[in-house]
Amino acid sequence: MVDWTSPAEISRDADVYGKLIFALFGLYVWELFQTSGFEYSIITMKRKFTWPLVLFFFLCRYCLLGSLIGLIISLTIRNPVNCQALYIFNSWAGNMTILCASTCLMLRTIAIWERKLKIVIPLCLLCLAHWVLLWRGMFILKTEYSPSQDACVLISNNHVFLNVTFFMTMGFDLTILVFTMAALVPKKTRSDLWTLLFRDGLVYFIITFCFNALPAILNVINLNGG
């Protein structure tokens, strides 16, 4: 059985994590170039600018890019830097990505329900709570530069609060998924399943929920006590 708390295992996990971040950065930059036509159509006014959705969409795209760049910097530090400021930026960019992605999905769900108040009010209240929790979560990590390790090291965090934010995000996205399915599924026949999943975008709701569930579960089981 793997000893997740052994220094050798933690070092191996850190190496895998670093390689994963670099791979995701390359993949995401490629994705940005592949889909840059959307930005171009907005700038050239070929596409109508619907400010709430497009604003959150742009924030999501470029906050994620900033977060990946910040993570790469934090992994490649070899000289003393202001680690606290760097990690606050990484937390801000990462949490803003999550918040904007969830808000975009919520706005689409509200549009599907034709802005009915019985849907708008609970979703907006959940969204507000989500923003408050994740905004607070941007500032709970304490880090400093360690000359012996030539890297930023984590001094303290709030493990319970992180669990709450992870499960809040997962719960919010699950709620959005359920509301969306409730609106779309009754209108579709079995032959329309492919359309429901891909043209109506239900698959993206499912993928978002699954990707939020993974860190939530790993944070709870806390394999290496980090």
Q: How high is the pLDDT of residue 29? A: 96
pLDDT in tens, 85-116: 999 999 999 999 999 989 988 998 898 898 99
**75: which 2 tokens?**
């992994």
pTM of the entire predicted model: 0.86
pLDDT in tens, 135-183: 999 998 899 998 888 888 888 888 788 888 888 988 898 898 889 888 8
The helix/strand/coil state of 143 is: strand
pLDDT in tens, 30-46: 999 998 888 888 888 88
